[in-house]
A = this chain, B = another copy of it.
Amino acid sequence: MQLSCNNINNMRASQIVFNLQKNGNRITRTRKKIIEIFSKEDKPINAKNLLRKLSLNDDKVNKTTVYREIGFLLKQNLIQQVYIDPKEIFYESTGLDHHHHLICNDCGKIEDVVLEKDLSDTEKELEKKMKFKVSNHSLEFFGLCVNCQ
């Protein structure tokens, strides 16, 4: 199970690397690792997390590189910001299925959730009523997780 899941994710990472390279971007060891981390991870990551994950392995990566790489991946639209904490910027892969987050106010745990109904009706309402052209939305739920209730 875990294995097949990893395979799928690794395929996604390779695909991303392939496309980047095709478009003339260099694939350095750090860039490849970061792409793999974002492909494997199903929770939002911030710069500090990412630095820690990278440093777990063999060689160290400088934080400047991490920030620059985040900027690069944002520009390539491979990751996106997640609006769950106004004090820290979190990111997640744009390749994930459209989902939302449950953030526990007590322990800080973040869970993903795919909702049964989407917000397309609401977005239509906004475009009609407010003449606002919605390109994306952020819907996050705050409360208490099972363990903290």
Q: Chain A interface (Cβ within 8 Å of chain B)? A: 81-90, 102, 104-105, 111, 113, 115-117, 119, 121-123, 125-126, 129-146, 149
Contact = CB atoms under 8 A, between A and B. Distances in A.
| Number of identical protomers | 2
A134 B141 contact: yes
B132 A122 contact: no
Contact of A141 (B85, B89, B126): B126
Contact of A102 (B86, B130, B140): B130
A82 B119 CA distance: 20
Contact of A126 (B85, B90, B113, B137): B113
User: Top 10 nearest A-B pairs by Cβ distance?
Assistant: A86-B89, A134-B143, A83-B83, A135-B143, A133-B144, A131-B146, A139-B139, A102-B132, A137-B141, A133-B143
